[in-house]
Each structure stands twice: as structure tokens, then as C-alpha cells.
Amino acid sequence: DIAPYLLFETVEPEFNVFQRFEALLRGIDNMNVNVYKFGENDVAVLNDFWKVYTIDPISLKTRTSITPSIHVPKSPSAFTFLNFISSAHPLPEMGTPHHLSYLSSVNIIPGMKSRISLVRIKSSEEREIITSWEVDRVPYMHSFAATKNYVVFFACPYFINVKKMVRYAIPERSLDWEQESPTILYVVHIKSGKVVTMMTDNVFMMHQINAFERDGVIIVDISAYPNPDFVKNLEMKNLLDPIKRNQFNTRASVRRYTITLNTQTVVWKTFRDTETAPCASALDLPTINEFYRYRPYCFAYGVALKCNNVSLSDIAIVKKDLCGRGRDKMWKIANHYAVEAWFIPEPGGGKYEDDGYLVLPVLNGEAKSSYLAFIDARSMEMVNSAEIPMIVPFNLHGRFFDDLL
């Protein structure tokens, strides 16, 4: 049988009313979205939820599940229902050994405020709230952006419907998209905890790419979508249909947001592609040279689905030149299905930003096997590969740790 836990969608046949209630109480146990190292031998797998699982990084065996205890400020207008929504993408807190994340405290009582908290992660078990603020409704946020001094949340109008959550116990059915509503930006000063709220055009995003401060403004790059429809279309009934799977839009668009705090203004722009890499701006599942995290940078790497804008399975690993010098490149092989890469810099960091290698698993559709590809990040040519002794299907995120073995 399938144990009743929360899933993003559901099972067939669906859980009965008692199983749905049990799933709500238990929360989620599907933590195979991302993996992080929070300290010495402290490796955790995580999802968009507060709970994490710690694992042995060598054997990959689960050690334990952890739901960190934390003090959430209460007020007469914030009687929280569940402290369970967080991010699968914590970010390093510059100048410290810690990470940053967030916690959404969802209120089940109609008319009462919910709350979002900026959180400092000290370990898988130890977390502390930096600051909190009240919101009318809780948005779904898979990731967020940060700089040396600020954290930027894109609260896209994709809101959690508490009534639907209680009724169905299926998160995917409990999210309401509002196409005509603006996207709210919460810009949080890490040291003081001050929160500035701004508005920008309607947009949906899953992943931020990088952010940095320059000349008194905050620059944030994201992989943007016009709506979250592509998430709902990634179902087996669509993916196994050769017509349907090529009809829905899966292409992201890299956007750069410029946030000016003094005037509280937000403007954004997109990037043109070149003939050498016509889908470079359609990247998602982004990665960068981590030496350039929170610094001005030029190169973003990622996965471009439907690269030819015809077939969903036409997948490329792309390199986007955000400095506009025409250095876009891409790597793809027909019927080879690449997933998220990780940038491993040259020892010592290298002389140039793109001195390093992209490492990623690739599913060879013709041989029905998988291999680990090593791509020179400068030339975007594969320089080596290693067969993997099992098939690795299309997955989401992974990381490289140079100090585990």
C-alpha cells in the first residue's frame, strides 16, 4: 500500500477522507528534490517544506527526519495553522557558515493574517527567525534571491487555498493562480530585519539565478514564466502522449530585475538570443560559478526544454552571456536527455568566470542507459563521460560536494 503522506499531486485511487486527514497530520515525506550540506557530516535532502531528512552521504541511507522547532512570533491577527512550507533552495549567508531560508505559517481561520519569516539555518536541527511579517495570503515560493545584505522574495500570485488544502490534502489542487494580479516583492535587510514591499508585473518563477548589489540598486536574475501551467502539464497522461506533450509551453525566459530601494521602483528586461544558441534565454534549473554568488557575473548555465520550440524532448544544456558580449553556447545530442548541471570551478577558482566544468547525468535514450557528462564550461564541449550503473530518469536538482570523500 502507499502510506498516506502529502504528495504534490495524488495517488490512484485517491486517498479516502481518513487517509487525507492522516496525510495532513503527517505532512510530506517526498524529499528527493534537493540535497544540501549544512555543516560537517550534516547532509540533508529537502523539498518545499519545513521538514528535512538527514542522510549518510556515502551510503545514501536515511538517518532521521527532522522538523526543526522554532519560535514563531504570535499576534492577535496571526493565529497560525501550520508552520510547514519552506524552500528547497536555501542560500548561503555571506560572511557566515550559515544558510538562509524562509518559513510560511499558514492561517486556517478565515480573515486572519498568515505570516512569512526569514530564517537562518545553522544546522539541519537548529534554525532561528531573523524577522517576520504578516500577509493576507501565503504565496507558493520554490526559491528566493539574496545578496550580501538583502533577501528578495518574489511572491507571485499563486496562493495557497487553505479550504482546498483541508478538503483535498493535495497541494497541487490547493493553489490558485491570479493572472491579473501583480507580483509582490518583499525586500528584507538581513541585519536590521526591515521589510520593504514593492510591486512588479505579473510573473511566475520557480528558480532565481543570482543576485548582487551595484551602485545602490539590487540586481536579480530569474527564470520567468507567464503562468504556472507547465507545472500542471507535467503529468504522465500528457508526457506519454506525443501530441499533447509538445503542445504546452515549457520555455522559461531569463529576466533581469533592477530594484531601487530609494525610489521603491522595479524594472525588468529580457535578453536576446544568438544564432549559436537560439534557446539560451529559455533556461531553467540554473547554475552559476559559485565563486560569483552575490557578485556581478556574466554566465548562467541551465536546461532548455523544447529548445527547437517544437519537441519537448529537444533538450539542451545552455550557457547564457548576461553581459551581452555574444558568448552564448549550448550542448545537446539528439535523443540524449540532460538534466540540471553543477559548475565545478578549476582548482583555485581559475582565471576566468567560465574556467571549470559542468557535471550532470544524461539519459541516453537510444542505448537506454545513463552517463555522467563532463562539459567544458568555456567551450561547452563534452570532454569526458562515465557510465552510470543504473538508469537516472529526468530529475530536478543535485549538488557537488568536494569534501565528502
Which parts are annotated binding residues? 89, 142, 207, 397
Beta carbons within 8 Å of 351's beta carbon, 6+ residues apart: none
User: Is residue 390 helix, strand or coil?
Assistant: coil
Beta carbons within 8 Å of 111's beta carbon, 6+ residues apart: none
Distance CA 400, CA 308 (A): 30
Q: What value, to the nearest 5°, has the Cα angle with vertex 306 and ends 301 and 308?
A: 100
Q: How far does Cα 288 stand from its chain's mean position?
A: 14
Residues 393/363, Cβ–Cβ less than 8 Å: yes
- Closest by Cα among 18, 296, 8, 35 to 165: 8
Q: How far does Cα 188 stand from its chain's mean position?
A: 19
Please report, in angstroms and rounded to a whole number, the separation of the first and last CA atoms in the chain: 37
User: Is residue 326 helix, strand or coil?
Assistant: coil
- Output 265-273 pairs: Cβ under 8 A, ≥24 positions apart: 265/198, 266/185, 266/198, 266/199, 266/200, 268/200, 268/201, 271/320, 271/322, 271/324, 273/328
The helix or strand, by DSSP H or E, that contains position 232, with its residue range, turns out to be helix 229-233
The helix or strand, by DSSP H or E, that contains position 303, with its residue range, turns out to be strand 299-304
378-405 CB burial, b ≥16 within 10 A, e <16: bebebeeeeeeeeebebeebbeeeeeee
The C-alpha cell of 302 is what? Answer: 541551465
- Classify residue 88 as left (phi > 0), alpha (psi -120 to 50) or beta: alpha
Distance CA 30, CA 33 (A): 8
* Binding-site annotation, residues for Fe cation: 89, 142, 207, 397
116 class by beta-carbon count within 10 Å (0-12 exposed, 13-18 middle, 19+ buried): buried
